[in-house]
Structure 1
Amino acid sequence: MDFTPSEEQSAAQGLAARIFGDLSTHERLVAAGTGTDAGLWKELCTAGLPGAVEDIGLLGLVLLLEEQGRTTAQVPLAATGVYGLLAVAGHGTAEQRERLLPALRDGTAVATGAFPARDGGVRAVDGALYGAVPWVPWLRDATHVLVADAERGLWIVEARGPGVTVLPVETTAPWSAGRLGLDGVRAESLGTSTGRGTGPGAYASVLAASRIAFAGLQAGVCAGSLARAVRHTTTREQFGRPLSTNQGVLLRAADAHMDTEAIRVTAYEAAWRYDQRLDHAAQALTAAWWASEAGRRVVHAGQHLHGGTGADLDHPVHRHFLWGRQLDAYLGCGSEVLEELGLLIAEDGRQEGPS
């Protein structure tokens, strides 16, 4: 395995780092509230970063999302990348790719996903969808929603189409979320023209890609939180010396660094295997587990290492805390993905049989 980014991936990551660093400032994030920074999204699209996702692959998208996470930039890059660009490019028909991808590439269309459907909240009846999904990230900005039904079929829904209701929902992180209601919505099945929806294979692929992508986002969130904590503890003095000289502070920061690296490397491995068309189911769940369990530890440590300052809800480090906690639970919390991983390992063992 070689996780060294290609020249194209490195160039895209560098460009993303510059744009996010220049434009995703504390002042702009405050002004955006719980919505998308439309100016920043336009800048990213003008630079061609969403459009590059098909070429740089899931690993390239993970690299872009790391940079987004460092600044907690409020743009629907992860959702559009995995539920739109990669899903349509990888599983859509030729007609769907020709029709949908250009607008997703240039940002005039925004995709999100009603994933997963553990509770069977959406059912498909003769190509029409009924039910509701309690919250969907970036739904208020989306033009298209990739919906998973109870049978794990995938459907493309126009977010403002007949029978679709979108109600604002405030979540832990300010992701412009909404409640999705579907009442007899005539949906388009992804990858087929039969009106029956795709099978569980496409669902599993998109869910795995989504978990990997959001793990990459969590790696960036944690790296940004830790960087803020390091700056604070090296400049803040107590009893005449920097806080960073205290052994307890050093150990807490070191543990947070190791956790962040674990999230990053497992996300890289899973994304690389996905791009190489190798088996990646266990690696996606491993990355999701680290993003949940370790991510929660890191953002708690980042806030704790700020002392009383960390209790200020308006401080930038608190935004990392909110994002980290949201990502902790999105697409499955640690115990849920660990259960899935255990079942997967057991099933693989049964298929291989006794040695």
Structure 2
Amino acid sequence: MSDNRYGLTPQQQELALRVREIAQAEFAPRALEWETTGVFPEPNIKLLAEAGVLGAAVPVEYGGQGGSWLDSAVILEEVAKTCYVTAMATLGELGVQPRAIAAYGSDELKAELLPRIAKGQTICSICITEPDTGSDISSVATTARRDGDEFVITGTKALISRLDVVDVLLVCLRYAEPGAEANGLGNVGMIVVERERTGVGVSDGVQTLGGERLFTLTLDEVRVPAKNVLLGPGEFAKLMSAFNGQRCLNASISIGISQGALDHAIARSTERVQFGRPISGFQGLRWMISDCALDIEAARALVHKAAWNDGRQFPSRYDSAIAKVFSNEMSLRVTDRVLQIFGGHGFTRDQPAERYLRWARYGGLGGGTPQMLRDGIAKELYKAASQEKAHA
């Protein structure tokens, strides 16, 4: 089967093949190790940097490849086929973090951070979720108080990835200005915080179902220069459009997990013999395999449509929401079928089926839940209907 059917350019097909070869040779053999230990897969990130693909989200003038969201989606799908932990680690270098810095950072910030991100020398983490705040960014409680040429930041972030190796934090916060509201997006923004600054604290972390480790971040009167401001008061809405692209990448990981699971199921069904013949010859199983392929192909088409870039900075809210909801839920269906195809052995840890099912569960938790995104899809539909009625 050729990647041509997805409308990829020859360059994107070559990119997919290059990452696939690295992932299958280097990531797959150690996938269980990374998820068991929860250790950040630094060697894998370095391999991707050496292969010239880690800088796909970094502009060419800063040492990257200046790739589109679709380029990033292609890379992440191939990585996720073999190792969820590495896919989540790679997501940080191909998604919102470098693109937000490139789009909204000062020339000084871009020159300082982007070349190092492209080389895998600087690890960034975006810090939004708080103990009492998830999707509702308007309720963020972390504050930044102006003090001369500095901002003083105080607050707590929860369920943050990569903090065991992070160099730079992109912290969502509320600017504490005279008369500012205690909630709402009017004074919410983002500041870049270096990990080594005094007052930055990181917990030991907790292991997730998929193997990735998540941490609690504390910011206790952390001082940073005003030049580190990425988004000023009330500018956080700019980043909301960037999350549309991140949703495409989340969905591409769901697709990679599903495709990896299906590949294992096909191999397993041709090898396992029951009633004197391979189980791949039984119609009931063949239909399950076909249903997996139908789901994956549909999801991939939706993600590629949403991630396709024609000079636009970020994908649309509507397309990315549809792609993410469908892909996240599709991945659970496919990996559940695959475990069934493996039979009782699929329920054991020495076979890959249960691993893919666990990996698939994250998709609908990060980057916007299916429930929240369904509401957003409906809003877009009603808005379009209202506009059509107004022009009728």
Question: Shared fold by TM > 0.5?
Answer: yes
Alpha-carbon RMSD: 2.6
Distance in structure 1 (CA, Å) of the matches to 2:225 and 2:329: 36
Distance in structure 2 (CA, Å) of the matches to 1:11 and 1:191: 37
1:199-238 paired onto structure 2 within 5 Å:
199-238=235-274
In the alignment, which of 46, 52, 74 is matched to residue 50 of structure 2?
46
Give 1:279 shift: 6.0
Q: What amino acid is the match of 1:133?
A: K
In the alignment, which of 180, 196, 209 is matched to residue 217 of structure 2?
180
Question: Counterpart of 2:325 in 1: which secondary structure?
Answer: helix
Residues 141 and 176 in structure 1, CA contact (< 8 A), matched pair in contact too:
no
Residue aligning to 1:137: 161
Distance in structure 2 (CA, Å) of the matches to 1:339 and 1:332: 11
Larger Rg: 2
Distance in structure 2 (CA, Å) of the matches to 1:310 and 1:92: 47
Distance in structure 1 (CA, Å) of the matches to 2:15 and 2:226: 32
Residue aligning to 2:135: 118
Q: What amino acid is the match of 1:347?
A: K
| Cα distance, 1:341–1:200 mapped onto 2, change above 3 Å | farther
Distance in structure 1 (CA, Å) of the matches to 2:323 and 2:206: 27
Per-residue CA distance 1:106-127 (angstroms, 9 max, x = gap) = 0011122234642434433324
Say whether residues 1:82 and 2:77 are aligned partners: no
In the alignment, which of 62, 70, 78 is matched to residue 59 of structure 1?
70
Q: What amino acid is the match of 2:242?
A: V
Q: What amino acid is the match of 1:332?
A: G
| Cα distance, 1:165–1:60 mapped onto 2, change above 3 Å | same
1:150-299 paired onto structure 2 within 5 Å:
151=185, 152-167=188-203, 168-186=205-223, 196-197=232-233, 199-273=235-309, 276-277=312-313, 280-299=316-335
Say whether residues 1:149 and 2:173 are aligned partners: yes
Say whether residues 1:5 and 2:8 are aligned partners: yes
Residues 165 and 180 in structure 1, CA contact (< 8 A), matched pair in contact too:
yes
Per-residue CA distance 1:134-174 (angstroms, 9 max, x = gap) = 20233322222223336352332323432222221211112
Aligned residues: 352
Give 1:47 shift: 1.6
Q: What amino acid is the match of 2:378?
A: G
Distance in structure 2 (CA, Å) of the matches to 1:48 and 1:154: 29
Distance in structure 1 (CA, Å) of the matches to 2:280 and 2:236: 50
Give 1:204 shift: 1.0
Distance in structure 2 (CA, Å) of the matches to 1:263 and 1:187: 42
Question: Which runs of 5 or more residues in structure 2 are unaligned?
Answer: 59-65, 146-150, 175-184
In the alignment, which of 19, 28, 31 is matched to residue 29 of structure 1?
31
Q: What amino acid is the match of 2:286?
A: L
Residue aligning to 2:358: 322
Residues 122 and 129 in structure 1, CA contact (< 8 A), matched pair in contact too:
no
TM-score, normalising length: structure 1: 0.89
Distance in structure 2 (CA, Å) of the matches to 1:346 and 1:190: 41
Distance in structure 1 (CA, Å) of the matches to 2:126 and 2:102: 15
Question: Which runs of 5 or more residues in structure 1 are unaligned?
Answer: none
Residues 59 and 271 in structure 1, CA contact (< 8 A), matched pair in contact too:
yes
In the alignment, which of 362, 367, 373 is matched to residue 331 of structure 1?
367
Residues 192 and 198 in structure 1, CA contact (< 8 A), matched pair in contact too:
no
Question: Counterpart of 1:345 in 2: which secondary structure?
Answer: helix
Residue aligning to 2:104: 91
TM-score, normalising length: structure 2: 0.82
| Cα distance, 1:155–1:176 mapped onto 2, change above 3 Å | same
Question: Counterpart of 1:183 in 2: which secondary structure?
Answer: strand
Is 89-98 or 198-207 further displaced after alignment? 198-207
How high is the sequence identity, in percent, across the aligned residues?
23
Structure having the higher helix fraction is: 1
Per-residue CA distance 1:198-249 (angstroms, 9 max, x = gap) = 6133221221111111111111111001111111112112111222222221
